[in-house]
Amino acid sequence: MRSLVLGAVLAALIPLSAQAQEAGDAAAGEKAFAPCKACHNFQKNGVGPDLKGVVGRKAGTYEGYNYSAALKNSGITWDEANLHEWLKNPKAKVPGTKMIFQGYSDDKKINDVIAYLKTQS
Ligand code: HEC
């Protein structure tokens, strides 16, 4: 009886741990963010806009940054799904953007970067 209950508990936990593995890893994301640092930080605008608190922010709205019209008028809010598409291929997501970055093909890397961005709120 006891092992039956244990089995049921384990069976319930396994899908949870599988999901946890798919979620981004912020520590790995910090490393994957290295190329972004050429243009972005979390303190001030540089070549690219300040990314502090970008997850959940409306695109093209960070104060004092001179965005392209394309991004400013995109109507995007940076939820995880939109960030994912953006980091996969910025030019496909927002034609006319001035972010010169070809994108990451690796979904895990993208999830990791997003997890890292979430820590910078
Ligand atoms: C060569 C410089 C450069 C690199 C490298 C770069 N970006 Fe950008 N990024 C920009 C510029 C410029 C913009 C503004 C684009 C516009 O106005 O069209 C931008 C915009 C963004 C935005 C939208 C911000 C907002 O306020 O709407 C996000 C999110 C972003 N970048 C994330 C990243 C991440 C994550 C990486 C690394 C994987 C990265 N960028 C790499 C230059 C860069």
Of ligand 1's listed atoms, the one at least distance from the Cα of 38 is 5
pLDDT in the model for residue 3: 65
Mean predicted confidence (pLDDT) in 41-69: 98
* CA 32/CA 41 separation, integer angstroms: 14
Taking residues 4-17, report their average pLDDT.
Answer: 57
Tens digits of residue pLDDT in 68-108: 999 999 999 999 999 999 999 999 999 999 999 999 999 99
Task: Say if ligand 1 is within 6 A of residue 111 CB.
Answer: no
Residue 105: C-alpha distances to residues 10, 64, 87 (Å):
34, 31, 9
User: Ligand 1 centroid to 37 CA: how many Å?
Assistant: 10
Which pLDDT band, with edges at 50, 70 and 90, does 22 fall under? Answer: low
Q: Is the CB of 68 under 6 A from ligand 1?
A: yes
**Cα-to-centroid distance, 18 and ligand 1 (Å):** 31
- Please give the pLDDT value at position 23: 82
